[in-house]
Structure formats: structure tokens, C-alpha cells
Amino acid sequence: MASPQWHPTKLDEIGFVGRGKSRHRPRNAAFLYGGRYPFFQTGDIKAANFYLTEYSQTYSEEGLAQSKLWKPGTLCITIAANIAESAILGIEGCFPDSVVGFIADPTKADVRFIKYYLEILKLRMQNISHGATQDNLSLDKLLSFDFLVPPLPIQRRIAGILSAYDELIENSQRRIKILEAMARALYREWFVHFRFPGHESVPRVNSPIGEIPKGWEVRKLGDLMADHIGGGWGKETADEDHTQPAWVIRGTDIPSARSSQVTGVPHRFHTASNLRSRKLAAGDILFEVSGGSKGQSVGRTLLITTELLSALDGDVICASFCKRVRPKADTYCSELLYLSFLNGYKSGEIEQYQVQSTGISNFKWTEYIANIDRVIPPVQMQLHFRKLAAPLFSQIAAIGLQIQNLRRTRDLLLPRLLSGQIDVEAMPS
């Protein structure tokens, strides 16, 4: 039970609340973009963990002139598309009118506490935002919610406890990005720029895609796969056809097409017997071939590791909008094939084959993706590469699982701390 010191208050009673600004006139003119001012959109806010520092678009001076630059420490709250997602600006930036900015009054509120309290209110906000055409949480609706707020010192104490978990999560995510960058750089150095160990003594020869080292060959991606089977689902409860429980990994459990970790919690379904052939094994690659709304990027890719399978403890399959790709063990190692997908995204080679159909984004796998050319190095070089790359992905998987555990602990503490069930004043400093 919360102390009598806790009192309900509206958001605009403890700080400034205002919508973002983005006129985009003339509509989406190119000269509005590409400058030095970060332009944060609802998807960037949803993808952020706690602090908002990464963005996919920027404004020019002209873009800034029709918008507004918000200061670090501003709490960004989405009110359209991704409803009630939030993150705190870590750097200066602009955002559109589909985002509300909250600047806490330093005498009344800790912005971190308010951000955490939004997690308590998120589901209610989403429930009242359903619309006939598009979900929308108006500013008036947002300001109608009560925030149960304790005295400022208690707010700071609660926020400090919870943010310690988020700081560990963000540090872990930075470690993952460094490991991913190391693996991708190693792949590009050896297999794109052909600066592998001993390359100075290997002459180049002509090939269908240009000069390649002598002794290497060019083959289609489809030729490098033992199989590429579509995924499947199951049912929440068992029946005659769906008896054995299995974990199902979706494309949305992977943060982006250029990442190597699972961030969502896979769902557990009872699966039909014909899905036994779709079971994922260490070394398999999950590739998202379809999903999302029209115009939204798909193609998230995940290397299945022993660490991930051990943590899930049971059969694991991929969802129906994904492919289970199993490389030919004697032709192309898993790490090499996986990094070739990531590099293909980085270069735009794969993304160009994304097509729009019936309102969703998808890839024509057999027609396009399986026909992409790849350079095949000798087996000994693949083994040398794998010896260097495999430990990096094992570390990424282990850190990703640590992140999930940190999130679970934080999420268990959050409602108890923000309802006053845990007396933080009685806790040792």
C-alpha cells in the first residue's frame, strides 16, 4: 500500500507537456533532411531501451526551421502508430507531432520516475487509443491519466534502483555492438576486400562478379543451403494435432536486420507433428521473409547458437513468416553465411529485393534471395575464419541472455516499487 505521501497528479501539473512539431511543407521535400539535427520518430523511440540516442533520419537547417529542437532530459512519449512507448532524450533532437515531449519540473518530478510510471499506464493508454483507421492517443487523453507520485526524494530513490538495471542493459548492448562490429569487420576484410592472411601471395582471377582470389569460386546462395524451410506456428493449448510444446522465435524478437541477438521473449506453442522437421539446431539461420506493414523493412536474421538453445531448454522453431536456413556444412560455414546476410543488408544488396504485396513487406526468396552470388573461399580458410568468429557469437548470445534476465528482474520490481509495496525509505542506501 502506497504511503499517504503519494498523491495522484496530472502530467502537466509536474512539468511542461507539448507535442512535437513537423510541418514537412512542401510534403517530405528532400531539402528538409540530411543535415546535422537528429529527427527521432516513433519507431526510434520504441527501439530505444531507456535513453534515446539512435535515429534513422536527420533534419537540415530548413528542416529544423519547421520543427523544434528539444533538449536532453526530455521524455518522449509516442501518441500515434506505436502508442505509449517512451524514452528520454540523451542528445538534442527533433520529433514529429506523433510524439509528446515532457520536461519535468525539477522541484516536483524526476523524469526517470515518470518514464517508469508510464510503463504501468501503457496498457490502459493503448486500450483507449484504438481507432477505426489508426490508433491514436490524443494529448487530452494523455493528460487525463493520474500519475501516483511520491515526494521527490522517494521518486529519485525508486528511479535510481530501476535505472541501475537499465544502465547494465545499455552497457551490455554496447558490448554486443562492439562484438558484432568486430565480426562484420573481419568478414568484410577477408571476403569482401580479400585481405585475408596470406592474400599477398594469392593472385586474382576473373569471375562472373569480377576479380577474385585464385582457388575461390562463385556460387548462388541457394547452392550453399542444405535446405531452407518455411517456419510455422501452433496453438496455445494442446489438442489431437498439437501436443508437444515448442518455443517459437519471430522476426520481431530480433531488434534489426543488422543485429545478432534475441531481444523479445519467444512464445511457447503446442506444435503439430509436421513442424518437427522445422526444429532449429545450432548453426541454423533464421531469416524473416515477410511481415510488418507496407513500407516497413523486414529481413531480420539470427544465427542460432548453442547458448540460445540451452537457455530456452526445449524444442525451438521459427515463426511462419520466417525461413529456417541450414547451410551445407561442407560448403559454407554458418558464421560465414550469416555474416554474408548481414553484409548484404549493410550494402543494400538484399534490401533491394524487398517487395510490397497485399499491404505487407516481403521477400521473394526463391526468385531473388537464393539467386544472389557469393564468393566461396577454400575450406581451410573457412575453418580459420570460424575459429575466430564463433567465439564472438557465443559471447553475443550469452550477453543477450543476460540482458533478458536483467529485464525480467527489472520488470518484476517495477510495479512493486511504483505502487509503494516496497518501502524504499526502509531500504539501506
Q: What is the pLDDT of residues 247-261, one digit of tens each?
A: 888 887 887 666 667
User: Which pLDDT does position 295 carry in this prediction?
Assistant: 47
pLDDT digits (tens, 9 = 90+) for 126-140: 888 876 456 788 899
As a whole number, mean pLDDT of residues 194-202 equals: 95
Q: Of 264, 277, 288, 253, which is closest to residue 363 (Cα–Cα)? A: 288
Cell triple for residue 429?
542506501
| Mean pLDDT of all residues in 323-329 | 88
Distance CA 324, CA 263 (A): 19
Residue 314 reports pLDDT greater than 70: yes
Check residue 154 and give its pLDDT: 95
Most confident of 100-104, 310-314, 349-353: 100-104
Q: What is the mean pLDDT of residues 190-214?
A: 94
Dist. CA 108–CA 267, nearest whole Å: 41
For helices 334-347 and 152-187, the axis angle rounded to 10 degrees is 100
What is the pLDDT confidence band of residue 294, given thresholds at 50, 70 and 90?
very low
pLDDT of 292 above 70: no
Whether the per-residue pLDDT at 163 is higher than 80: the answer is yes
CA quadruple 268, 273, 275, 277: dihedral positive or negative? positive
Mean pLDDT of 226-233: 84
Choose the most confident range, by mean pLDDT, from 19-28, 194-203, 344-353, 392-401. Answer: 194-203
Rounded mean pLDDT, 179-202: 94
Average pLDDT of the chain is: 87
Q: What is the CATH number of domain 7-149?
A: 3.90.220.20
Q: Structural domain boundaries of the chain?
A: 7-149, 216-376
What is the CATH class of 216-376?
alpha beta
Cis check: omega of the bond before 26, within 30 degrees of 0: yes
Domains 7-149 and 216-376 alike in fold: yes
Residue 180 has pLDDT above 80, yes or no: yes
Whether 1 has a pLDDT exceeding 60, the answer reads: no
Backbone φ and ψ of 356, nearest 5°: -110, 135
Query: pLDDT class for 347, splitting at 50, 70, 90?
Result: confident
pTM of the model: 0.82
